[in-house]
Amino acid sequence: MRRKGERLRPILLDTYGPEHGVARAIRDGDRWFGAWQRQKATPYAMLAKRTGIPLARISALDAGDRISRAELDALAIAWSVSTGDLIASIGESTQIVD
């Protein structure tokens, strides 16, 4: 909770690249969702609360189910990463639907 007169601190976005921890985890065989979830240390319940995505759907995403643009946007906000970087980490492994 913000105190009276306190300034908001800017939220810096995490930049995804070849040497990012998620990229290394994916190269080692992890799925994109699990790699991000562990990198950002967000339990399923917290992720469901922050994104509005039901727990059952989060489990399906972790299992490799296709993902919508709205879900991508919600996850990007929860993990403080750009949607473009999130899509870059997915690659061809998961189908993105509109």
Looking at the 3D structure of the chain, how many domains does it have?
1
In a domain, 11, yes or no: no
Question: Tokens standing for 81?
Answer: 């990463």
* CATH code, domain carrying 76: 1.10.260
Q: Note whether residue 6 is domain-resident.
A: no
pTM above 0.85, yes or no: yes
Structural domain contains residue 81: yes
For residue 81, give Cα distances in angstroms to 2, 7, 16, 64. Answer: 23, 22, 8, 20
Q: Is residue 72 part of a domain?
A: yes
Instruction: Quote the domain boundaries for residue 29.
Output: 21-97
pLDDT tens sequence for the chain (98 residues)? 668 888 888 888 999 999 999 999 999 999 999 999 999 999 999 999 999 999 999 999 999 999 999 999 999 999 999 999 999 999 887 899 98
Assigned domain for 78 exists: yes
- Tell whether 12 is covered by a domain: no
